[in-house]
Amino acid sequence: MSSAKQSSNESTFVKSKFYKEIEQQKRIIESQFVLSLYKNTNYYFDYDIKVNEFSSPIWRFYYQMLKEMVEERKLRKMDVVTVSAYVQSKNDKLQQLFKKCGGYETIDKGMKIVEAENVDGYYSELQRYKTVLRLVECGFPIEQNWDKYSKMDLETLNEVLEGLVAEAFVDTQIGNDKVEDMFDGVDEMLERADQGVDQGLPIGSHLMDSIQHGLALGNITMMAANSGVGKTFLTTMLHIMSSITNQEPVLIIANEEEKARYAQGLITTYINHKHPDANFNKSRFIMGGFTDQEWEYLNEAKDWYKRKVYDGLVRFVNMNAFSMTKTIRLIKKYARLYDVRYFILDTLKLDNDADSRVTDNSWLQLQQNMVKLYNTIKPSNLNVHVWVTAQMTKSNRRAKYLDQSMIGMAKNVTDVVSSLMLVRMMSQSEKVGDKALRIIKEDGHQALLDEDKDYMIVFWDKNRQGQTSRQVVLEVDRGLNIVRDIGKTQINNDLE
């Protein structure tokens, strides 16, 4: 339908009594939704709603005000002082309209009535009423079946109406999939490839990047290991250090380690990288009693990070109780408000906030949570990357070959990840002797390992951006916070 014809239809649509009743109910929901956002602006970025979607001129006006205060002026608390100062900074027309709508008194009274925690329900109802009005405008027999439809949520209503339409076309053969010429847009594709846009942030290890080819946007990278192996250690040494080196903002969402532990790891990394003979062990943060030399190193590292890590480059939030809903809310907020493209979730767990309890369906809920996370970050939505750490089962501590069957949770959580890395420490017999692994360095020569040093082996069981048949060997010192590339090896998964 042409835009002119559609506009003509909209202008000639006559609102019935039923339509006006639904519209009035929608306006009530609009007031509850907007007032909930005023009461707690943290919810603002959770919902994608356009100003012109409001039926009520009053709540359209108040939402437009909130939009400007939150997005442009970065205001967070909507008290009388904040809102009044905003209104006073605007022109006379807006001030008069604000007064006509009831001023701040309308907001204040409303915030005392609504429960901000119910905002998700208000939003769902808002979408339902918006859809119902559109269906009426399109001539669907909603009024005749309202007793039945009024009790359905939006998803159920969608399924029922889709079923009716599908039944009407059951014997027809039509298709609406878009058919394109294979090489339409090929110039743009080649330009993006040449610039390496799709590779994303480097992992921080040249060998690992040669297999996974970076942390591509719109994807989830999962790194799994047994407890104590060093998931947070590798996350710090690889992803966080890469974010700092490449000046790429990152938000760390943690639920196990405190912020101080990450900062101590980063400071230790700087000291031993800049002063190889310092041998500064991060256990010194526990023991205390720094020497003058150590204080010199610590202050140098502190000053370097303060210069290098500008405000907002590395943000951190510690979840006292984990919830995927809260995690997704944080990702939406920082992606939309601060243009953050990289997120770290350390560690993936079952929801354990006040509103959650472990049941027989908890593992299924974990799988569904991962799907929700991917739907939030995928290319067609926010197009950001999430690095997720996960726990492996204790029963597989002595396993030589690692794969997704060893994830210590619902294994289907890996369905939506683009890359699955599994990490273990190298055994003594794999370093030297008859059973030693054959490790090839980047220059093509075989690497000789030191039996007194620690090494990690990184497996890929899933990798949409590269191979999975090779493993990377890293030399690690978890006390001095050192990671070095050694080479690649091949450990076969001998199936019986």
In this prediction, residue 416 carries a pLDDT of: 94
Lowest mean pLDDT segment, chosen from 54-68, 82-96, 387-401: 387-401
Owner of token pair 């909209």: 10
Residue 207: how many other CB atoms lie within 10 Å:
21
pLDDT category of residue 112 using cuts at 50, 70 and 90: very high
Q: How far is CA 419 from CA 195, 357, 397, 462, in A?
A: 22, 30, 22, 5
pLDDT digits (tens, 9 = 90+) for 20-73: 999 999 999 999 999 999 999 999 988 888 999 999 999 999 999 999 999 999
In this prediction, residue 439 carries a pLDDT of: 97
**Per CATH, which fold does 200-417 belong to?**
Rossmann fold (3.40.50)
**Cβ(81)–Cβ(53) under 8 Å?**
no
Mean pLDDT of 378-396: 90
For the chain, domain boundaries: 17-168, 200-417
Lowest mean pLDDT segment, chosen from 269-283, 388-402, 418-432, 456-470: 388-402
pLDDT category of residue 492 using cuts at 50, 70 and 90: confident
**pTM of this prediction?**
0.70
In this prediction, residue 442 carries a pLDDT of: 94
**Cβ(461)–Cβ(370) under 8 Å?**
no
Residue 421: how many other CB atoms lie within 10 Å:
26
**Cβ(133)–Cβ(22) under 8 Å?**
yes
**Cβ(475)–Cβ(417) under 8 Å?**
no
Q: Is 204 left (phi over 0), alpha (psi -120 to 50) or beta?
A: left
Reduced to 3 states (helix: H, G, I; strand: E, B; else coil), residue 27 is helix
Alpha carbon distance 182, 32 (integer Å): 49
In this prediction, residue 359 carries a pLDDT of: 59
**Cβ(456)–Cβ(230) under 8 Å?**
yes
Lowest mean pLDDT segment, chosen from 8-22, 162-176, 361-375: 162-176
Class of domain 17-168: mainly alpha
Q: Which residues, in sequence order, are bridge partners of residue 293?
A: none
Alpha carbon distance 102, 110 (integer Å): 11
Count helices and strands in the chain by DSSP H and E runs: 19, 9
Q: Strand order of the sheet with strand 454-463?
A: 314-318, 250-254, 342-346, 385-391, 220-225, 419-425, 454-463, 471-477, 482-489
In this prediction, residue 357 carries a pLDDT of: 58
* Radius of gyration of the chain measured on its C-alpha atoms: 28
Alpha carbon distance 120, 326 (integer Å): 13
**Cβ(353)–Cβ(320) under 8 Å?**
no
Which residues lie below 8 Å from residue 365, measured CB to CB, with a gap of 6+? 350, 351
Owner of token pair 């602006």: 41
Lowest mean pLDDT segment, chosen from 178-182, 289-293, 294-298: 178-182
Task: List the structure tokens of 256.
Answer: 């196990």
**Cβ(285)–Cβ(298) under 8 Å?**
no
Strand residues in 158-237 grouped as ranges (E):
220-225
Asked if residue 164 has pLDDT above 90, the reply is no
In this prediction, residue 360 carries a pLDDT of: 56
Task: List the structure tokens of 387.
Answer: 């690095």
In this prediction, residue 1 carries a pLDDT of: 44
In this prediction, residue 184 carries a pLDDT of: 86
Mean pLDDT of 148-158: 84
**Cβ(493)–Cβ(450) under 8 Å?**
no
In this prediction, residue 242 carries a pLDDT of: 97
**Cβ(233)–Cβ(431) under 8 Å?**
no
Q: pLDDT exceeding 90 applies to what percent of the chain?
A: 67
- For residue 248, give the nearest of 199, 284, 185 by alpha carbon: 199
Q: Is residue 342 packed enough to be buried (19+ CB in 10 Å), middle (13-18) or exposed (0-12)?
A: buried
Mean pLDDT of 312-333: 90
In this prediction, residue 113 carries a pLDDT of: 93
DSSP sequence for 278-300: ----TTHHHH----HHHHHHHHH
pLDDT category of residue 185 using cuts at 50, 70 and 90: confident
Asked if residue 363 has pLDDT above 80, the reply is no
In this prediction, residue 355 carries a pLDDT of: 53
**Cβ(371)–Cβ(381) under 8 Å?**
no
In this prediction, residue 321 carries a pLDDT of: 82
The count of residues in the chain is 496
In this prediction, residue 365 carries a pLDDT of: 83
Q: Which residues, in sequence order, are bridge partners of residue 489?
A: 471
Asked if residue 349 has pLDDT above 90, the reply is no
Asked if residue 323 has pLDDT above 90, the reply is no
pLDDT digits (tens, 9 = 90+) for 79-88: 999 999 999 9
Asked if residue 9 has pLDDT above 50, the reply is no
Residues 430-455: b if buried by 16+ CB within 10 A, e if exposed: bbeeeeebebbeeeeeebebeeeebb
- For residue 222, give the nearest of 483, 406, 89, 432 by alpha carbon: 406
Reduced to 3 states (helix: H, G, I; strand: E, B; else coil), residue 73 is coil
Structural element, H or E, at residue 455: strand 454-463
DSSP sequence for 306-329: HHHS-TTSEEEEE-SS--HHHHHH
Sign of the Cα pseudo-torsion (95, 97, 100, 102, in order): negative
What amino acid is encoded at 260 in this protein?
A
Residue 246: how many other CB atoms lie within 10 Å:
11
Alpha carbon distance 247, 423 (integer Å): 27
Q: Is residue 243 packed enough to be buried (19+ CB in 10 Å), middle (13-18) or exposed (0-12)?
A: buried
Asked if residue 3 has pLDDT above 50, the reply is no
Alpha carbon distance 185, 455 (integer Å): 46
